[in-house]
Amino acid sequence: MTEAADLVDLRSDTVTKPTPGMRRAMAEAEVGDDVYGEDPSIRALEERVAGMFGHEAALFVPSGTMGNQIGMRLVCEPGQEVLCDADAHVVTYEMGAAAAIFGISTRTVVTSGGRLDADQLIAQVRPKTDWHLTATAAIAVENSHNRGGGLVQPIDELRKLWDWSREAGVAVHLDGARIWNAAVASGTELSTYGRLADTASVCLSKGLGAPVGSVLVASAERIATARLWRKRLGGGMRQAGVLAAAGLYALDHHLPRLAEDHEHAQLLAKRLGVDPSTVETNMVVLDDVAAPVIAEAAKAQGVLVSRVSARRIRLVLHLDVDRRAVDRAADVLSELL
Protein backbone atom coordinates (compact mmCIF):
# COMPACT_ATOMS: atom_id res chain seq x y z
CA MET A 1 0.00 0.00 0.00
CA THR A 2 1.13 3.51 -0.80
CA GLU A 3 0.87 6.13 1.92
CA ALA A 4 -1.47 8.99 1.02
CA ALA A 5 1.44 11.42 1.32
CA ASP A 6 3.32 9.51 -1.36
CA LEU A 7 0.48 9.62 -3.83
CA VAL A 8 1.30 11.51 -7.02
CA ASP A 9 -1.94 12.67 -8.59
CA LEU A 10 -1.41 13.63 -12.23
CA ARG A 11 -5.04 13.20 -13.31
CA SER A 12 -5.76 16.92 -13.46
CA ASP A 13 -4.76 20.31 -12.09
CA THR A 14 -8.22 20.43 -10.50
CA VAL A 15 -7.08 18.09 -7.70
CA THR A 16 -4.98 20.70 -5.87
CA LYS A 17 -5.93 21.40 -2.27
CA PRO A 18 -5.87 24.86 -0.67
CA THR A 19 -2.53 25.57 0.98
CA PRO A 20 -2.28 26.75 4.61
CA GLY A 21 -1.72 30.32 3.41
CA MET A 22 -4.77 30.15 1.18
CA ARG A 23 -6.87 28.73 4.00
CA ARG A 24 -5.78 31.62 6.24
CA ALA A 25 -6.77 34.12 3.57
CA MET A 26 -10.16 32.41 3.29
CA ALA A 27 -10.66 32.42 7.05
CA GLU A 28 -9.87 36.13 7.25
CA ALA A 29 -11.91 37.21 4.22
CA GLU A 30 -14.29 40.12 4.53
CA VAL A 31 -17.68 38.96 3.37
CA GLY A 32 -21.22 40.15 2.64
CA ASP A 33 -24.23 38.94 0.66
CA ASP A 34 -23.04 38.79 -2.94
CA VAL A 35 -26.56 38.43 -4.37
CA TYR A 36 -27.08 41.94 -2.94
CA GLY A 37 -23.71 42.89 -4.43
CA GLU A 38 -22.33 43.42 -0.93
CA ASP A 39 -19.41 41.02 -0.71
CA PRO A 40 -16.22 43.13 -0.75
CA SER A 41 -13.95 40.18 -1.50
CA ILE A 42 -16.04 39.11 -4.49
CA ARG A 43 -16.09 42.68 -5.76
CA ALA A 44 -12.32 42.97 -5.38
CA LEU A 45 -11.78 39.72 -7.27
CA GLU A 46 -14.15 40.71 -10.08
CA GLU A 47 -12.54 44.13 -10.48
CA ARG A 48 -9.08 42.68 -10.45
CA VAL A 49 -9.77 39.98 -13.02
CA ALA A 50 -11.68 42.36 -15.30
CA GLY A 51 -8.65 44.67 -15.21
CA MET A 52 -6.17 41.88 -15.88
CA PHE A 53 -8.01 40.99 -19.08
CA GLY A 54 -8.68 44.55 -20.19
CA HIS A 55 -12.46 44.26 -19.84
CA GLU A 56 -14.96 46.54 -18.09
CA ALA A 57 -16.50 44.01 -15.76
CA ALA A 58 -16.44 40.47 -14.43
CA LEU A 59 -18.65 37.98 -12.62
CA PHE A 60 -17.60 35.29 -10.17
CA VAL A 61 -19.26 31.96 -11.03
CA PRO A 62 -19.11 28.56 -9.34
CA SER A 63 -17.52 26.71 -12.25
CA GLY A 64 -15.85 27.06 -15.62
CA THR A 65 -18.80 25.32 -17.20
CA MET A 66 -21.14 28.03 -15.92
CA GLY A 67 -18.71 30.72 -17.07
CA ASN A 68 -18.53 29.26 -20.55
CA GLN A 69 -22.23 28.62 -20.92
CA ILE A 70 -23.33 32.05 -19.69
CA GLY A 71 -20.54 33.61 -21.75
CA MET A 72 -21.79 31.94 -24.91
CA ARG A 73 -25.42 32.79 -24.10
CA LEU A 74 -24.48 36.46 -23.87
CA VAL A 75 -23.38 36.45 -27.50
CA CYS A 76 -25.69 33.82 -28.99
CA GLU A 77 -29.50 33.66 -29.08
CA PRO A 78 -31.50 30.41 -28.91
CA GLY A 79 -31.70 28.95 -32.42
CA GLN A 80 -28.35 30.38 -33.43
CA GLU A 81 -25.10 28.48 -33.32
CA VAL A 82 -21.69 28.61 -31.71
CA LEU A 83 -18.90 27.31 -33.91
CA CYS A 84 -15.94 25.61 -32.27
CA ASP A 85 -13.42 22.82 -32.72
CA ALA A 86 -14.59 19.24 -32.29
CA ASP A 87 -12.44 18.66 -29.20
CA ALA A 88 -13.48 21.83 -27.40
CA HIS A 89 -14.42 21.54 -23.74
CA VAL A 90 -17.63 23.50 -24.40
CA VAL A 91 -19.00 20.68 -26.57
CA THR A 92 -17.15 17.69 -25.11
CA TYR A 93 -17.29 18.06 -21.34
CA GLU A 94 -20.22 20.35 -20.56
CA MET A 95 -23.05 17.83 -20.80
CA GLY A 96 -24.68 19.41 -23.84
CA ALA A 97 -25.49 22.47 -21.71
CA ALA A 98 -25.71 24.92 -24.63
CA ALA A 99 -28.51 22.85 -26.17
CA ALA A 100 -30.07 21.53 -22.98
CA ILE A 101 -30.30 24.87 -21.18
CA PHE A 102 -30.09 27.64 -23.74
CA GLY A 103 -31.35 26.22 -27.05
CA ILE A 104 -28.00 27.08 -28.59
CA SER A 105 -26.89 24.91 -31.47
CA THR A 106 -23.22 24.02 -31.73
CA ARG A 107 -21.28 23.11 -34.85
CA THR A 108 -17.84 21.63 -34.73
CA VAL A 109 -14.85 21.65 -37.02
CA VAL A 110 -12.21 18.94 -36.86
CA THR A 111 -8.87 20.66 -36.35
CA SER A 112 -5.30 19.53 -36.10
CA GLY A 113 -5.21 18.54 -32.42
CA GLY A 114 -7.25 21.55 -31.32
CA ARG A 115 -4.92 24.15 -32.85
CA LEU A 116 -6.74 27.23 -34.08
CA ASP A 117 -6.68 27.87 -37.81
CA ALA A 118 -8.70 31.06 -38.25
CA ASP A 119 -9.37 30.57 -41.97
CA GLN A 120 -10.67 27.06 -41.37
CA LEU A 121 -13.28 28.31 -38.90
CA ILE A 122 -14.14 31.43 -40.87
CA ALA A 123 -14.90 29.29 -43.92
CA GLN A 124 -17.60 27.49 -41.92
CA VAL A 125 -19.43 30.56 -40.64
CA ARG A 126 -23.06 30.86 -41.76
CA PRO A 127 -24.54 34.33 -42.25
CA LYS A 128 -27.38 35.72 -40.16
CA THR A 129 -29.15 37.01 -43.27
CA ASP A 130 -30.10 33.73 -44.91
CA TRP A 131 -33.66 32.36 -44.57
CA HIS A 132 -32.57 28.76 -44.27
CA LEU A 133 -29.30 28.60 -42.45
CA THR A 134 -28.60 28.36 -38.74
CA ALA A 135 -26.82 31.65 -38.12
CA THR A 136 -23.35 31.54 -36.59
CA ALA A 137 -23.48 34.11 -33.80
CA ALA A 138 -20.21 33.24 -32.10
CA ILE A 139 -16.99 31.31 -32.30
CA ALA A 140 -15.56 29.67 -29.17
CA VAL A 141 -11.80 29.31 -28.80
CA GLU A 142 -10.04 27.30 -26.07
CA ASN A 143 -6.63 28.45 -24.80
CA SER A 144 -4.69 26.53 -23.62
CA HIS A 145 -6.40 23.56 -25.23
CA ASN A 146 -7.22 20.72 -22.88
CA ARG A 147 -7.72 17.81 -25.30
CA GLY A 148 -4.97 19.35 -27.40
CA GLY A 149 -2.55 18.44 -24.60
CA GLY A 150 -2.30 21.94 -23.22
CA LEU A 151 -1.32 23.58 -26.49
CA VAL A 152 -1.16 27.37 -26.71
CA GLN A 153 -3.18 28.96 -29.51
CA PRO A 154 -1.04 30.94 -31.98
CA ILE A 155 -1.46 34.64 -31.32
CA ASP A 156 -1.45 35.46 -35.04
CA GLU A 157 -4.43 33.18 -35.59
CA LEU A 158 -6.27 34.71 -32.62
CA ARG A 159 -5.64 38.18 -34.06
CA LYS A 160 -6.75 37.14 -37.51
CA LEU A 161 -9.98 35.66 -36.15
CA TRP A 162 -10.64 38.74 -34.03
CA ASP A 163 -10.05 41.21 -36.89
CA TRP A 164 -12.31 39.20 -39.14
CA SER A 165 -15.00 38.90 -36.46
CA ARG A 166 -15.26 42.69 -36.08
CA GLU A 167 -16.04 43.05 -39.78
CA ALA A 168 -18.39 40.07 -39.82
CA GLY A 169 -20.36 40.84 -36.67
CA VAL A 170 -19.60 37.44 -35.16
CA ALA A 171 -18.65 37.29 -31.48
CA VAL A 172 -15.64 35.49 -30.02
CA HIS A 173 -15.87 33.60 -26.72
CA LEU A 174 -12.66 32.51 -25.03
CA ASP A 175 -12.68 29.37 -22.92
CA GLY A 176 -9.69 30.45 -20.90
CA ALA A 177 -9.84 27.84 -18.15
CA ARG A 178 -6.05 27.65 -18.48
CA ILE A 179 -5.35 31.02 -20.08
CA TRP A 180 -2.87 31.59 -17.23
CA ASN A 181 -0.74 28.70 -18.49
CA ALA A 182 -0.94 30.00 -22.05
CA ALA A 183 0.15 33.47 -20.94
CA VAL A 184 3.05 32.21 -18.85
CA ALA A 185 4.25 29.84 -21.57
CA SER A 186 4.01 32.31 -24.46
CA GLY A 187 4.89 35.52 -22.64
CA THR A 188 1.69 37.05 -24.03
CA GLU A 189 -0.10 39.46 -21.68
CA LEU A 190 -3.43 38.33 -20.24
CA SER A 191 -4.87 41.65 -21.41
CA THR A 192 -3.79 40.86 -24.98
CA TYR A 193 -5.72 37.61 -24.86
CA GLY A 194 -8.63 39.36 -23.16
CA ARG A 195 -8.88 42.04 -25.82
CA LEU A 196 -9.20 39.38 -28.51
CA ALA A 197 -12.49 38.11 -27.06
CA ASP A 198 -15.96 39.52 -26.39
CA THR A 199 -16.51 37.17 -23.48
CA ALA A 200 -13.99 35.05 -21.60
CA SER A 201 -14.24 32.48 -18.83
CA VAL A 202 -11.15 31.86 -16.71
CA CYS A 203 -10.74 29.24 -13.98
CA LEU A 204 -9.29 29.79 -10.53
CA SER A 205 -9.63 26.12 -9.63
CA LYS A 206 -7.18 24.61 -12.13
CA GLY A 207 -3.49 25.47 -12.10
CA LEU A 208 -4.04 28.43 -9.80
CA GLY A 209 -5.06 26.05 -7.04
CA ALA A 210 -8.20 27.68 -5.64
CA PRO A 211 -10.79 25.18 -4.39
CA VAL A 212 -13.75 26.66 -6.28
CA GLY A 213 -14.57 29.25 -8.87
CA SER A 214 -14.24 30.83 -12.26
CA VAL A 215 -14.61 34.37 -13.50
CA LEU A 216 -16.47 35.54 -16.58
CA VAL A 217 -15.24 38.80 -18.11
CA ALA A 218 -17.02 41.01 -20.66
CA SER A 219 -18.44 44.51 -21.12
CA ALA A 220 -20.33 46.04 -18.17
CA GLU A 221 -23.61 45.69 -20.05
CA ARG A 222 -23.06 42.01 -20.76
CA ILE A 223 -21.97 41.27 -17.21
CA ALA A 224 -25.19 42.86 -15.92
CA THR A 225 -27.09 40.33 -18.04
CA ALA A 226 -24.74 37.55 -16.95
CA ARG A 227 -25.67 38.30 -13.34
CA LEU A 228 -29.32 37.54 -14.15
CA TRP A 229 -28.39 34.28 -15.87
CA ARG A 230 -26.22 33.23 -12.96
CA LYS A 231 -29.09 33.75 -10.51
CA ARG A 232 -31.51 31.96 -12.84
CA LEU A 233 -29.17 28.97 -12.99
CA GLY A 234 -28.86 28.81 -9.22
CA GLY A 235 -25.35 30.23 -9.18
CA GLY A 236 -26.09 33.26 -6.99
CA MET A 237 -23.99 32.79 -3.86
CA ARG A 238 -24.14 34.63 -0.56
CA GLN A 239 -21.00 35.07 1.60
CA ALA A 240 -18.87 33.68 -1.20
CA GLY A 241 -16.04 36.06 -0.28
CA VAL A 242 -14.33 33.13 1.40
CA LEU A 243 -14.01 31.64 -2.09
CA ALA A 244 -13.00 34.91 -3.72
CA ALA A 245 -10.28 35.29 -1.08
CA ALA A 246 -8.84 31.98 -2.25
CA GLY A 247 -8.91 33.28 -5.82
CA LEU A 248 -7.19 36.54 -4.88
CA TYR A 249 -4.57 34.63 -2.93
CA ALA A 250 -4.03 32.36 -5.94
CA LEU A 251 -3.48 35.33 -8.26
CA ASP A 252 -0.90 36.74 -5.86
CA HIS A 253 0.95 33.55 -5.04
CA HIS A 254 0.25 30.87 -7.60
CA LEU A 255 0.16 32.65 -10.93
CA PRO A 256 3.90 33.39 -11.02
CA ARG A 257 4.76 29.78 -10.14
CA LEU A 258 3.01 28.17 -13.14
CA ALA A 259 6.34 28.22 -14.98
CA GLU A 260 7.48 25.59 -12.49
CA ASP A 261 4.68 23.25 -13.61
CA HIS A 262 5.75 23.79 -17.21
CA GLU A 263 9.36 22.92 -16.32
CA HIS A 264 8.14 19.81 -14.55
CA ALA A 265 6.15 18.82 -17.63
CA GLN A 266 9.31 19.20 -19.76
CA LEU A 267 11.25 17.10 -17.32
CA LEU A 268 8.65 14.36 -17.20
CA ALA A 269 8.38 14.33 -21.01
CA LYS A 270 12.14 13.84 -21.36
CA ARG A 271 12.17 11.04 -18.81
CA LEU A 272 9.31 9.28 -20.63
CA GLY A 273 10.67 9.67 -24.15
CA VAL A 274 8.01 12.17 -25.21
CA ASP A 275 9.16 14.87 -27.63
CA PRO A 276 9.45 17.95 -25.35
CA SER A 277 8.46 20.23 -28.22
CA THR A 278 4.94 18.73 -28.02
CA VAL A 279 4.70 19.88 -24.40
CA GLU A 280 3.69 23.53 -24.41
CA THR A 281 2.35 24.02 -20.90
CA ASN A 282 1.57 21.76 -17.92
CA MET A 283 0.42 18.59 -19.69
CA VAL A 284 2.22 15.56 -21.07
CA VAL A 285 0.35 13.24 -23.43
CA LEU A 286 1.36 9.61 -23.83
CA ASP A 287 0.09 8.31 -27.17
CA ASP A 288 -0.18 4.76 -28.49
CA VAL A 289 -0.02 3.18 -25.08
CA ALA A 290 -2.26 0.55 -23.46
CA ALA A 291 -3.95 3.22 -21.38
CA PRO A 292 -6.15 1.09 -19.08
CA VAL A 293 -3.34 -1.34 -18.25
CA ILE A 294 -0.78 1.38 -17.56
CA ALA A 295 -3.22 3.49 -15.58
CA GLU A 296 -4.11 0.55 -13.32
CA ALA A 297 -0.50 -0.52 -12.82
CA ALA A 298 0.59 3.05 -12.06
CA LYS A 299 -2.26 3.46 -9.60
CA ALA A 300 -1.12 0.35 -7.74
CA GLN A 301 2.19 2.17 -7.24
CA GLY A 302 0.58 5.40 -6.12
CA VAL A 303 0.70 7.36 -9.39
CA LEU A 304 -2.68 8.48 -10.69
CA VAL A 305 -3.02 9.34 -14.38
CA SER A 306 -5.90 10.26 -16.65
CA ARG A 307 -7.10 7.96 -19.42
CA VAL A 308 -8.19 10.10 -22.33
CA SER A 309 -8.89 7.09 -24.56
CA ALA A 310 -7.91 3.42 -24.82
CA ARG A 311 -4.59 4.48 -26.35
CA ARG A 312 -3.94 7.84 -24.69
CA ILE A 313 -2.91 8.94 -21.22
CA ARG A 314 -2.75 12.51 -19.97
CA LEU A 315 -0.43 13.67 -17.19
CA VAL A 316 -1.05 17.08 -15.66
CA LEU A 317 1.49 18.96 -13.54
CA HIS A 318 0.30 21.29 -10.81
CA LEU A 319 0.85 22.96 -7.44
CA ASP A 320 0.71 19.71 -5.46
CA VAL A 321 3.34 17.93 -7.57
CA ASP A 322 6.84 18.95 -6.52
CA ARG A 323 10.16 17.95 -8.05
CA ARG A 324 10.38 14.84 -5.89
CA ALA A 325 6.92 13.73 -7.00
CA VAL A 326 7.87 14.33 -10.64
CA ASP A 327 10.86 12.05 -10.21
CA ARG A 328 8.74 9.39 -8.53
CA ALA A 329 6.12 9.50 -11.28
CA ALA A 330 8.86 9.33 -13.91
CA ASP A 331 10.40 6.28 -12.20
CA VAL A 332 7.08 4.43 -12.03
CA LEU A 333 5.86 5.35 -15.50
CA SER A 334 9.12 4.83 -17.38
CA GLU A 335 9.28 1.33 -15.90
CA LEU A 336 5.72 0.57 -17.07
CA LEU A 337 6.25 2.02 -20.56
Ligand X SMILES: *Cc1c(COP(=O)(O)O)cnc(C)c1O
Q: Which residues bind ligand X (CB under 6 A)?
A: 63-65, 68, 89, 142, 146, 175, 177, 203, 205-206, 214
* Residue 215: count of CB within 10 angstroms of its CB: 26
Nearer to ligand X, 135 or 255 (CB): 255
Instruction: Report the alpha-carbon distance of residue 210 to residue 214 in Å, rounded.
Output: 10
* 265-267-268 Cα angle (round to 5): 65
Alpha-carbon distance values, 93 to 66, 102, 199 (Å)? 12, 16, 19
Least distance to ligand X, CB of residue 242, Å: 18
Least distance to ligand X, CB of residue 168, Å: 25
Beta bridge partners of 84: 108
Nearer to ligand X, 177 or 268 (CB): 177
Beta bridge partners of 109: 85
Q: Which residue has the closest beta carbon to ligand X?
A: 64
Instruction: Report the alpha-carbon distance of residue 57 to residue 46 in Å, rounded.
Output: 7
Least distance to ligand X, CB of residue 68, Å: 6
Nearer to ligand X, 280 or 328 (CB): 280
Nearer to ligand X, 165 or 282 (CB): 282
Alpha-carbon 85 to chain mean position: 15
Least distance to ligand X, CB of residue 147, Å: 8
Nearer to ligand X, 144 or 165 (CB): 144
Burial of 263 (0-12, 13-18, 19+ CB in 10 A): middle
Least distance to ligand X, CB of residue 115, Å: 14
